[in-house]
Structure 1
Amino acid sequence: MTSRADLLAWLNDLLQINYTKVEQCGTGAAYCQVIDSIYGDLPMSRVKMNAKHEYEYIANFKVMQNVFKAKKIDKPITIEKLVKCKMQDNLEFLQWIKRFWDQNYGGQGYDPVARRKGAPTDSPATIAPLAAGGGRTAGLNVGGTRAGGRTPISGHRSGSTQPNEAVQLLQAQVKEMSVHLEGLEKERDFYFEKLREIELLVQERLESEGAPDDPTLRRIQTILYSTEDGFEVPEGALVNEGEAFADEEEETF
Protein backbone atom coordinates (compact mmCIF):
# COMPACT_ATOMS: atom_id res chain seq x y z
CA MET A 1 0.00 0.00 0.00
CA THR A 2 1.22 3.52 -0.80
CA SER A 3 2.34 5.46 2.29
CA ARG A 4 0.59 8.58 3.49
CA ALA A 5 3.61 10.73 2.63
CA ASP A 6 3.74 9.38 -0.91
CA LEU A 7 -0.01 9.80 -1.38
CA LEU A 8 0.11 13.43 -0.24
CA ALA A 9 3.13 14.14 -2.43
CA TRP A 10 1.30 12.68 -5.45
CA LEU A 11 -1.90 14.56 -4.66
CA ASN A 12 -0.17 17.91 -4.12
CA ASP A 13 1.86 17.52 -7.31
CA LEU A 14 -1.12 16.48 -9.44
CA LEU A 15 -3.48 19.19 -8.18
CA GLN A 16 -0.96 21.89 -7.23
CA ILE A 17 -2.30 22.16 -3.70
CA ASN A 18 -0.60 22.05 -0.32
CA TYR A 19 -2.31 19.42 1.83
CA THR A 20 -0.34 18.31 4.89
CA LYS A 21 -2.73 15.67 6.24
CA VAL A 22 -4.76 12.89 4.68
CA GLU A 23 -7.68 14.04 6.86
CA GLN A 24 -7.93 17.23 4.77
CA CYS A 25 -9.23 15.12 1.88
CA GLY A 26 -12.48 14.80 3.86
CA THR A 27 -13.74 17.99 2.20
CA GLY A 28 -14.15 15.97 -1.01
CA ALA A 29 -12.63 18.72 -3.17
CA ALA A 30 -9.33 16.96 -3.91
CA TYR A 31 -11.08 13.66 -4.66
CA CYS A 32 -13.33 15.46 -7.15
CA GLN A 33 -10.41 17.01 -8.98
CA VAL A 34 -8.50 13.73 -9.18
CA ILE A 35 -11.52 12.24 -10.96
CA ASP A 36 -11.64 15.35 -13.17
CA SER A 37 -7.99 14.81 -14.13
CA ILE A 38 -9.01 11.42 -15.55
CA TYR A 39 -12.17 12.37 -17.45
CA GLY A 40 -11.91 16.14 -17.79
CA ASP A 41 -15.65 16.72 -17.54
CA LEU A 42 -16.44 16.84 -13.83
CA PRO A 43 -18.36 20.11 -13.16
CA MET A 44 -15.57 21.83 -11.23
CA SER A 45 -17.64 25.02 -10.94
CA ARG A 46 -19.81 23.14 -8.44
CA VAL A 47 -16.85 21.99 -6.34
CA LYS A 48 -15.94 24.24 -3.42
CA MET A 49 -12.16 23.87 -3.20
CA ASN A 50 -11.84 25.80 0.08
CA ALA A 51 -14.87 24.23 1.78
CA LYS A 52 -14.86 24.80 5.52
CA HIS A 53 -18.17 23.33 6.68
CA GLU A 54 -19.54 19.81 6.65
CA TYR A 55 -22.55 20.68 4.48
CA GLU A 56 -20.08 21.99 1.87
CA TYR A 57 -18.09 18.76 2.11
CA ILE A 58 -21.28 16.76 1.50
CA ALA A 59 -22.13 18.88 -1.54
CA ASN A 60 -18.66 18.15 -3.00
CA PHE A 61 -19.11 14.42 -2.50
CA LYS A 62 -22.54 14.57 -4.13
CA VAL A 63 -20.90 16.01 -7.25
CA MET A 64 -18.46 13.12 -7.33
CA GLN A 65 -21.21 10.61 -6.60
CA ASN A 66 -23.14 11.84 -9.66
CA VAL A 67 -20.04 11.41 -11.83
CA PHE A 68 -19.50 7.88 -10.47
CA LYS A 69 -23.07 7.05 -11.43
CA ALA A 70 -22.72 8.55 -14.92
CA LYS A 71 -19.41 6.76 -15.55
CA LYS A 72 -20.71 3.50 -14.01
CA ILE A 73 -17.89 3.45 -11.45
CA ASP A 74 -18.82 0.69 -9.05
CA LYS A 75 -17.37 2.14 -5.85
CA PRO A 76 -19.54 3.07 -2.85
CA ILE A 77 -18.71 6.48 -1.36
CA THR A 78 -19.24 6.45 2.40
CA ILE A 79 -19.91 10.18 2.58
CA GLU A 80 -21.08 10.14 6.20
CA LYS A 81 -17.69 8.76 7.27
CA LEU A 82 -15.38 10.67 4.94
CA VAL A 83 -16.78 14.12 5.85
CA LYS A 84 -15.82 13.52 9.50
CA CYS A 85 -12.20 13.94 8.32
CA LYS A 86 -10.95 10.84 10.11
CA MET A 87 -7.52 9.69 8.99
CA GLN A 88 -8.23 5.97 8.49
CA ASP A 89 -11.41 6.40 6.43
CA ASN A 90 -9.81 8.98 4.15
CA LEU A 91 -6.55 7.06 3.88
CA GLU A 92 -8.39 3.99 2.59
CA PHE A 93 -10.39 6.05 0.10
CA LEU A 94 -7.34 8.00 -1.06
CA GLN A 95 -5.48 4.73 -1.64
CA TRP A 96 -8.40 3.53 -3.77
CA ILE A 97 -8.46 6.85 -5.66
CA LYS A 98 -4.73 6.51 -6.39
CA ARG A 99 -5.14 2.96 -7.72
CA PHE A 100 -8.11 4.04 -9.85
CA TRP A 101 -6.11 6.98 -11.21
CA ASP A 102 -3.13 4.73 -12.04
CA GLN A 103 -5.42 2.38 -13.97
CA ASN A 104 -7.43 5.03 -15.83
CA TYR A 105 -5.35 8.18 -16.30
CA GLY A 106 -4.35 8.35 -19.95
CA GLY A 107 -1.27 10.53 -19.54
CA GLN A 108 -2.92 13.57 -21.10
CA GLY A 109 -1.83 16.98 -19.90
CA TYR A 110 -3.84 18.37 -17.01
CA ASP A 111 -3.90 21.95 -15.73
CA PRO A 112 -5.55 21.80 -12.27
CA VAL A 113 -5.47 25.57 -11.70
CA ALA A 114 -7.16 26.30 -15.02
CA ARG A 115 -9.79 23.60 -14.44
CA ARG A 116 -10.78 25.12 -11.10
CA LYS A 117 -10.50 28.60 -12.66
CA GLY A 118 -8.11 29.84 -10.04
CA ALA A 119 -10.52 29.10 -7.18
CA PRO A 120 -8.78 29.39 -3.78
CA THR A 121 -7.53 26.13 -2.34
CA ASP A 122 -6.81 27.07 1.26
CA SER A 123 -5.66 23.95 3.02
CA PRO A 124 -8.70 22.91 5.09
CA ALA A 125 -8.26 22.76 8.84
CA THR A 126 -9.12 19.61 10.73
CA ILE A 127 -10.31 19.70 14.32
CA ALA A 128 -7.81 17.91 16.55
CA PRO A 129 -8.92 16.66 19.98
CA LEU A 130 -7.47 18.32 23.03
CA ALA A 131 -4.26 16.61 24.03
CA ALA A 132 -4.59 14.02 26.77
CA GLY A 133 -2.34 11.59 28.60
CA GLY A 134 1.10 11.95 27.06
CA GLY A 135 0.05 14.77 24.71
CA ARG A 136 1.63 18.20 24.49
CA THR A 137 -0.79 19.90 26.89
CA ALA A 138 -0.49 17.13 29.46
CA GLY A 139 3.28 17.40 29.32
CA LEU A 140 3.03 21.02 30.40
CA ASN A 141 1.03 20.05 33.51
CA VAL A 142 -1.08 23.17 33.12
CA GLY A 143 -2.90 23.88 36.36
CA GLY A 144 -1.39 20.71 37.84
CA THR A 145 0.92 20.23 40.80
CA ARG A 146 4.50 21.22 40.28
CA ALA A 147 7.46 21.16 42.56
CA GLY A 148 6.99 24.13 44.84
CA GLY A 149 3.21 24.54 44.38
CA ARG A 150 0.55 25.17 41.71
CA THR A 151 0.96 27.56 38.81
CA PRO A 152 -2.28 29.11 37.48
CA ILE A 153 -2.94 28.93 33.75
CA SER A 154 -2.95 32.70 33.46
CA GLY A 155 0.46 33.22 34.99
CA HIS A 156 3.97 31.85 34.69
CA ARG A 157 7.04 31.51 36.75
CA SER A 158 10.11 33.54 36.15
CA GLY A 159 12.15 32.07 33.31
CA SER A 160 9.31 29.78 32.09
CA THR A 161 7.11 30.35 29.02
CA GLN A 162 5.40 26.95 29.03
CA PRO A 163 2.07 28.09 30.57
CA ASN A 164 1.78 30.91 28.02
CA GLU A 165 2.38 28.40 25.22
CA ALA A 166 -0.35 26.20 26.68
CA VAL A 167 -2.78 29.12 26.83
CA GLN A 168 -2.07 29.98 23.19
CA LEU A 169 -2.60 26.36 22.19
CA LEU A 170 -5.92 26.15 24.03
CA GLN A 171 -7.05 29.50 22.64
CA ALA A 172 -6.29 28.31 19.10
CA GLN A 173 -8.26 25.11 19.69
CA VAL A 174 -11.21 27.04 21.15
CA LYS A 175 -11.19 29.35 18.13
CA GLU A 176 -11.13 26.40 15.72
CA MET A 177 -13.96 24.69 17.60
CA SER A 178 -15.99 27.91 17.46
CA VAL A 179 -15.59 27.99 13.68
CA HIS A 180 -16.65 24.34 13.57
CA LEU A 181 -19.73 25.10 15.70
CA GLU A 182 -20.67 27.96 13.38
CA GLY A 183 -20.44 25.55 10.46
CA LEU A 184 -22.72 23.07 12.22
CA GLU A 185 -25.29 25.80 12.82
CA LYS A 186 -25.20 26.77 9.14
CA GLU A 187 -25.55 23.10 8.19
CA ARG A 188 -28.58 22.77 10.49
CA ASP A 189 -30.23 25.82 8.93
CA PHE A 190 -29.42 24.54 5.44
CA TYR A 191 -31.20 21.22 5.97
CA PHE A 192 -34.07 22.82 7.86
CA GLU A 193 -34.78 25.09 4.89
CA LYS A 194 -34.80 22.04 2.62
CA LEU A 195 -37.33 20.31 4.86
CA ARG A 196 -39.43 23.46 5.00
CA GLU A 197 -39.54 23.63 1.20
CA ILE A 198 -40.59 19.96 1.05
CA GLU A 199 -43.31 20.59 3.65
CA LEU A 200 -44.78 23.50 1.69
CA LEU A 201 -44.66 21.53 -1.55
CA VAL A 202 -46.44 18.53 0.00
CA GLN A 203 -49.02 20.73 1.70
CA GLU A 204 -49.72 22.63 -1.53
CA ARG A 205 -50.17 19.39 -3.46
CA LEU A 206 -52.48 17.83 -0.85
CA GLU A 207 -54.63 20.94 -0.59
CA SER A 208 -54.88 21.61 -4.32
CA GLU A 209 -58.48 21.45 -5.54
CA GLY A 210 -59.40 18.27 -7.34
CA ALA A 211 -56.11 16.51 -6.59
CA PRO A 212 -56.49 12.82 -5.61
CA ASP A 213 -55.43 11.85 -2.11
CA ASP A 214 -51.86 10.58 -2.33
CA PRO A 215 -50.87 8.14 0.45
CA THR A 216 -47.17 8.71 -0.25
CA LEU A 217 -47.52 12.45 0.31
CA ARG A 218 -49.56 11.77 3.45
CA ARG A 219 -46.76 9.53 4.71
CA ILE A 220 -44.16 12.21 3.96
CA GLN A 221 -46.27 14.75 5.82
CA THR A 222 -46.57 12.40 8.82
CA ILE A 223 -42.77 12.00 8.92
CA LEU A 224 -42.26 15.77 8.74
CA TYR A 225 -44.62 16.41 11.65
CA SER A 226 -43.49 13.52 13.84
CA THR A 227 -41.56 14.35 17.01
CA GLU A 228 -39.36 12.51 19.48
CA ASP A 229 -38.81 12.86 23.21
CA GLY A 230 -36.47 15.74 23.90
CA PHE A 231 -37.00 17.32 20.48
CA GLU A 232 -37.74 21.01 20.50
CA VAL A 233 -38.98 22.81 17.42
CA PRO A 234 -36.53 25.65 16.63
CA GLU A 235 -37.83 29.13 17.35
CA GLY A 236 -39.62 30.56 14.31
CA ALA A 237 -39.81 27.14 12.69
CA LEU A 238 -42.84 25.16 11.56
CA VAL A 239 -46.16 26.83 12.34
CA ASN A 240 -48.82 24.77 14.06
CA GLU A 241 -51.65 23.89 11.70
CA GLY A 242 -54.22 25.32 14.08
CA GLU A 243 -52.36 28.63 14.25
CA ALA A 244 -52.15 28.71 10.46
CA PHE A 245 -55.89 28.23 10.13
CA ALA A 246 -56.50 30.87 12.81
CA ASP A 247 -54.39 33.35 10.87
CA GLU A 248 -56.37 32.60 7.72
CA GLU A 249 -59.67 33.20 9.54
CA GLU A 250 -58.40 36.55 10.88
CA GLU A 251 -57.43 37.62 7.37
CA THR A 252 -60.88 36.55 6.11
CA PHE A 253 -62.66 38.77 8.59
Structure 2
Amino acid sequence: MGESRTELLAWLNDLLQINYTKIEQCGTGGAYCQILDSIYGDVPMGRVKMNAKQEYESLANYKVMQNIFKAKKIDKPIPVDKLVKCKMQDNLEFLQWIKRFWDSNYGGQGYDPVARRKGMPVETPATIAPVRSSGGGLSASGSTGRVGGRTPIGGPRAGSANSETVRALEAQIREMSGHLEGLEKERDFYFAKLRDIEILVGQSLETFEDKEDPSAIQLLEIQKILYSTEEGFEVPDAGQALDDEETETF
Protein backbone atom coordinates (compact mmCIF):
# COMPACT_ATOMS: atom_id res chain seq x y z
CA MET A 1 0.00 0.00 0.00
CA GLY A 2 1.25 3.49 -0.84
CA GLU A 3 1.30 6.44 1.49
CA SER A 4 -1.87 8.41 2.07
CA ARG A 5 -2.49 11.79 0.50
CA THR A 6 -1.75 13.52 3.81
CA GLU A 7 1.55 11.68 4.22
CA LEU A 8 2.61 12.37 0.64
CA LEU A 9 1.81 16.08 0.87
CA ALA A 10 3.71 16.37 4.17
CA TRP A 11 6.75 14.68 2.62
CA LEU A 12 6.54 16.75 -0.56
CA ASN A 13 6.19 20.10 1.22
CA ASP A 14 9.04 19.26 3.61
CA LEU A 15 11.38 18.07 0.85
CA LEU A 16 10.76 20.97 -1.53
CA GLN A 17 9.85 23.71 0.98
CA ILE A 18 6.57 24.45 -0.77
CA ASN A 19 2.99 24.67 0.43
CA TYR A 20 0.87 22.37 -1.69
CA THR A 21 -2.56 21.64 -0.24
CA LYS A 22 -3.83 19.13 -2.79
CA ILE A 23 -2.34 16.23 -4.73
CA GLU A 24 -3.88 17.68 -7.90
CA GLN A 25 -1.41 20.59 -7.81
CA CYS A 26 1.38 18.17 -8.69
CA GLY A 27 -0.20 17.91 -12.15
CA THR A 28 1.67 21.02 -13.32
CA GLY A 29 4.85 18.93 -13.27
CA GLY A 30 7.11 21.35 -11.37
CA ALA A 31 7.16 19.34 -8.14
CA TYR A 32 7.93 16.11 -10.00
CA CYS A 33 10.91 17.77 -11.68
CA GLN A 34 12.32 19.02 -8.39
CA ILE A 35 11.89 15.65 -6.68
CA LEU A 36 14.16 14.26 -9.40
CA ASP A 37 16.54 17.16 -8.83
CA SER A 38 16.78 16.25 -5.15
CA ILE A 39 18.04 12.83 -6.25
CA TYR A 40 20.36 13.77 -9.11
CA GLY A 41 21.09 17.46 -8.57
CA ASP A 42 21.33 18.24 -12.30
CA VAL A 43 17.76 18.99 -13.40
CA PRO A 44 17.74 22.35 -15.26
CA MET A 45 15.53 24.02 -12.66
CA GLY A 46 15.81 27.34 -14.50
CA ARG A 47 13.51 25.85 -17.14
CA VAL A 48 10.99 24.50 -14.65
CA LYS A 49 7.86 26.58 -13.97
CA MET A 50 7.06 25.81 -10.35
CA ASN A 51 4.03 28.09 -10.46
CA ALA A 52 2.75 27.03 -13.89
CA LYS A 53 -0.65 28.51 -14.62
CA GLN A 54 -1.16 27.49 -18.26
CA GLU A 55 -1.20 24.02 -19.76
CA TYR A 56 1.64 24.82 -22.17
CA GLU A 57 3.84 25.71 -19.17
CA SER A 58 3.01 22.37 -17.55
CA LEU A 59 3.79 20.55 -20.80
CA ALA A 60 7.19 22.27 -20.86
CA ASN A 61 7.82 20.93 -17.33
CA TYR A 62 7.00 17.41 -18.47
CA LYS A 63 9.38 17.80 -21.41
CA VAL A 64 12.16 18.53 -18.92
CA MET A 65 11.09 15.49 -16.92
CA GLN A 66 11.03 13.22 -19.98
CA ASN A 67 14.56 14.32 -20.86
CA ILE A 68 15.72 13.41 -17.35
CA PHE A 69 14.05 10.00 -17.56
CA LYS A 70 15.78 9.40 -20.88
CA ALA A 71 19.18 10.58 -19.65
CA LYS A 72 18.99 8.50 -16.45
CA LYS A 73 17.50 5.49 -18.28
CA ILE A 74 14.42 5.44 -16.02
CA ASP A 75 12.12 2.83 -17.52
CA LYS A 76 8.78 4.32 -16.50
CA PRO A 77 6.21 5.80 -18.89
CA ILE A 78 5.04 9.29 -17.91
CA PRO A 79 1.26 9.58 -18.52
CA VAL A 80 1.51 13.28 -19.37
CA ASP A 81 -1.94 13.48 -20.97
CA LYS A 82 -3.50 12.29 -17.69
CA LEU A 83 -1.28 14.08 -15.17
CA VAL A 84 -1.57 17.49 -16.85
CA LYS A 85 -5.35 17.43 -16.32
CA CYS A 86 -4.65 17.77 -12.58
CA LYS A 87 -6.93 14.91 -11.58
CA MET A 88 -6.38 13.59 -8.08
CA GLN A 89 -6.28 9.83 -8.72
CA ASP A 90 -3.82 9.97 -11.63
CA ASN A 91 -1.45 12.26 -9.76
CA LEU A 92 -1.81 10.29 -6.53
CA GLU A 93 -0.72 7.09 -8.26
CA PHE A 94 2.23 8.80 -9.96
CA LEU A 95 3.29 10.60 -6.75
CA GLN A 96 3.20 7.27 -4.90
CA TRP A 97 5.46 5.79 -7.57
CA ILE A 98 7.89 8.70 -7.53
CA LYS A 99 8.02 8.57 -3.71
CA ARG A 100 9.05 4.89 -3.90
CA PHE A 101 11.60 5.81 -6.57
CA TRP A 102 12.95 8.57 -4.31
CA ASP A 103 13.18 6.18 -1.34
CA SER A 104 15.24 3.77 -3.45
CA ASN A 105 17.53 6.33 -5.09
CA TYR A 106 17.98 9.33 -2.79
CA GLY A 107 21.46 9.15 -1.31
CA GLY A 108 20.79 11.16 1.84
CA GLN A 109 22.84 14.12 0.65
CA GLY A 110 21.87 17.59 1.79
CA TYR A 111 19.45 19.36 -0.52
CA ASP A 112 18.51 23.04 -0.56
CA PRO A 113 15.34 23.30 -2.69
CA VAL A 114 15.09 27.08 -2.41
CA ALA A 115 18.66 27.61 -3.60
CA ARG A 116 18.15 25.20 -6.49
CA ARG A 117 15.12 27.22 -7.60
CA LYS A 118 17.31 30.34 -7.50
CA GLY A 119 14.57 32.52 -6.12
CA MET A 120 12.02 31.59 -8.77
CA PRO A 121 8.40 32.18 -7.63
CA VAL A 122 6.72 29.14 -6.13
CA GLU A 123 3.16 30.25 -5.44
CA THR A 124 0.87 27.28 -5.10
CA PRO A 125 -0.13 26.48 -8.70
CA ALA A 126 -3.75 26.54 -9.74
CA THR A 127 -5.34 23.36 -10.97
CA ILE A 128 -6.74 23.41 -14.50
CA ALA A 129 -10.35 23.23 -13.26
CA PRO A 130 -10.98 25.48 -10.22
CA VAL A 131 -13.37 24.03 -7.67
CA ARG A 132 -16.12 25.59 -5.60
CA SER A 133 -15.20 26.85 -2.17
CA SER A 134 -17.15 25.71 0.87
CA GLY A 135 -18.87 29.12 0.98
CA GLY A 136 -20.31 28.70 -2.52
CA GLY A 137 -17.82 31.00 -4.23
CA LEU A 138 -15.23 30.02 -6.82
CA SER A 139 -11.56 29.87 -5.93
CA ALA A 140 -9.24 30.65 -8.87
CA SER A 141 -6.34 29.00 -7.10
CA GLY A 142 -8.17 25.68 -7.01
CA SER A 143 -8.17 25.63 -3.19
CA THR A 144 -11.29 25.20 -1.12
CA GLY A 145 -10.34 28.05 1.15
CA ARG A 146 -12.24 31.27 1.45
CA VAL A 147 -11.14 34.17 -0.75
CA GLY A 148 -10.69 37.52 0.95
CA GLY A 149 -10.25 38.80 4.49
CA ARG A 150 -11.39 37.45 7.84
CA THR A 151 -15.05 36.90 8.63
CA PRO A 152 -16.31 39.64 10.98
CA ILE A 153 -17.58 38.62 14.41
CA GLY A 154 -21.24 37.79 14.12
CA GLY A 155 -20.92 36.39 10.60
CA PRO A 156 -20.15 37.88 7.18
CA ARG A 157 -21.90 41.04 6.09
CA ALA A 158 -23.90 40.75 2.88
CA GLY A 159 -21.90 43.45 1.12
CA SER A 160 -18.62 41.86 2.15
CA ALA A 161 -19.72 38.43 0.94
CA ASN A 162 -20.84 39.87 -2.39
CA SER A 163 -17.56 41.71 -2.93
CA GLU A 164 -15.62 38.55 -2.11
CA THR A 165 -17.68 36.60 -4.61
CA VAL A 166 -17.04 39.26 -7.26
CA ARG A 167 -13.29 39.20 -6.59
CA ALA A 168 -13.25 35.41 -6.77
CA LEU A 169 -15.15 35.44 -10.06
CA GLU A 170 -12.90 38.12 -11.49
CA ALA A 171 -9.84 36.06 -10.53
CA GLN A 172 -11.34 33.01 -12.20
CA ILE A 173 -12.10 34.99 -15.36
CA ARG A 174 -8.50 36.24 -15.49
CA GLU A 175 -7.19 32.71 -15.12
CA MET A 176 -9.55 31.31 -17.74
CA SER A 177 -8.68 34.14 -20.14
CA GLY A 178 -4.98 33.43 -19.73
CA HIS A 179 -5.60 29.72 -20.24
CA LEU A 180 -7.62 30.45 -23.39
CA GLU A 181 -4.86 32.69 -24.73
CA GLY A 182 -2.35 29.90 -24.22
CA LEU A 183 -4.59 27.41 -26.05
CA GLU A 184 -5.03 29.82 -28.94
CA LYS A 185 -1.26 30.22 -29.26
CA GLU A 186 -0.85 26.43 -29.30
CA ARG A 187 -3.62 26.11 -31.91
CA ASP A 188 -2.05 28.73 -34.19
CA PHE A 189 1.38 27.16 -33.76
CA TYR A 190 0.27 23.68 -34.81
CA PHE A 191 -2.05 24.97 -37.55
CA ALA A 192 0.90 26.82 -39.12
CA LYS A 193 2.90 23.59 -39.13
CA LEU A 194 0.06 21.64 -40.73
CA ARG A 195 -0.34 24.36 -43.35
CA ASP A 196 3.37 24.12 -44.22
CA ILE A 197 3.04 20.34 -44.57
CA GLU A 198 -0.04 20.75 -46.78
CA ILE A 199 1.81 23.13 -49.13
CA LEU A 200 4.88 20.88 -49.26
CA VAL A 201 2.81 17.79 -50.05
CA GLY A 202 0.90 19.63 -52.77
CA GLN A 203 4.07 20.94 -54.40
CA SER A 204 5.70 17.51 -54.25
CA LEU A 205 2.68 15.84 -55.87
CA GLU A 206 2.87 18.25 -58.81
CA THR A 207 6.29 16.82 -59.70
CA PHE A 208 4.83 13.33 -60.28
CA GLU A 209 3.33 12.55 -63.67
CA ASP A 210 2.61 8.99 -62.63
CA LYS A 211 0.26 9.11 -59.64
CA GLU A 212 0.76 5.35 -59.20
CA ASP A 213 4.37 5.93 -58.22
CA PRO A 214 4.88 4.59 -54.63
CA SER A 215 6.14 7.97 -53.44
CA ALA A 216 3.16 9.72 -54.99
CA ILE A 217 0.79 7.24 -53.36
CA GLN A 218 2.39 7.92 -50.00
CA LEU A 219 1.98 11.66 -50.48
CA LEU A 220 -1.65 11.14 -51.43
CA GLU A 221 -2.20 9.18 -48.22
CA ILE A 222 -0.67 12.05 -46.22
CA GLN A 223 -2.92 14.48 -48.06
CA LYS A 224 -5.94 12.29 -47.29
CA ILE A 225 -5.10 12.48 -43.57
CA LEU A 226 -4.73 16.26 -43.76
CA TYR A 227 -8.13 16.65 -45.40
CA SER A 228 -10.01 14.05 -43.37
CA THR A 229 -12.84 15.31 -41.15
CA GLU A 230 -14.83 14.06 -38.19
CA GLU A 231 -18.53 14.13 -37.45
CA GLY A 232 -19.58 17.60 -36.37
CA PHE A 233 -16.66 19.29 -38.13
CA GLU A 234 -17.75 21.62 -40.89
CA VAL A 235 -15.45 22.22 -43.83
CA PRO A 236 -15.55 25.89 -45.01
CA ASP A 237 -17.34 26.32 -48.34
CA ALA A 238 -15.42 27.23 -51.47
CA GLY A 239 -16.23 30.94 -51.17
CA GLN A 240 -14.98 31.15 -47.61
CA ALA A 241 -11.87 29.14 -48.45
CA LEU A 242 -11.16 31.48 -51.35
CA ASP A 243 -11.53 34.52 -49.12
CA ASP A 244 -9.10 32.96 -46.65
CA GLU A 245 -6.60 32.29 -49.39
CA GLU A 246 -6.86 35.83 -50.73
CA THR A 247 -6.26 37.37 -47.32
CA GLU A 248 -3.42 35.04 -46.44
CA THR A 249 0.04 36.59 -46.47
CA PHE A 250 2.92 34.53 -47.83
Q: TM-score, normalized by length of structure 2?
A: 0.69
Which of the two has higher C-alpha Rg? 1
Conserved 8 A contact 1:54-1:187? no
Conserved 8 A contact 2:50-2:125? no
User: Using the alignment, how far apart are the partners of 2:203 and 2:45 within structure 1?
Assistant: 36
Aligned to 1:146: none
Aligned to 2:10: 9
What is the one-letter code of the residue matched to 2:110?
Answer: G
User: Using the alignment, how far apart are the partners of 2:64 and 2:99 within structure 1?
Assistant: 19
* Worse overlay, 109-118 or 193-202: 193-202
Conserved 8 A contact 1:44-1:115? yes
Aligned to 2:186: 187
Conserved 8 A contact 1:52-1:183? no
Assess, with a 3 A threshold, how the Cα gap between structure 1 residues 200 and 87 changes in structure 2: closer, same or farther. Answer: same
Please state how far the C-alpha of 1:200 moved relative to its aligned partner: 5.6
Q: Deviations for 1:186-229, whole angstroms, at most 9, x for unmatched residues? A: 332333344345556656776789xx936555533432333334
C-alpha RMSD over aligned residues: 3.7
User: Using the alignment, how far apart are the partners of 2:78 and 2:221 within structure 1?
Assistant: 29
- For structure 2, the residue ranges without an aligned partner over 5 or more in a row are 138-156, 209-213
Q: How many residues align?
A: 219
Aligned to 2:228: 226
What is the one-letter code of the residue matched to 1:96?
Answer: W
Aligned runs of 1:73-222 on 2, under 5 Å?
A: 73-128=74-129, 131=132, 136-137=135-136, 162-199=161-198, 213=215, 216-222=218-224
User: Using the alignment, how far apart are the partners of 1:77 and 1:27 within structure 2?
Assistant: 13
Aligned to 1:49: 50
Q: Secondary structure at the match of 1:52?
A: coil
Assess, with a 3 A threshold, how the Cα gap between structure 1 residues 111 and 162 changes in structure 2: closer, same or farther. Answer: closer
Identity %: 70
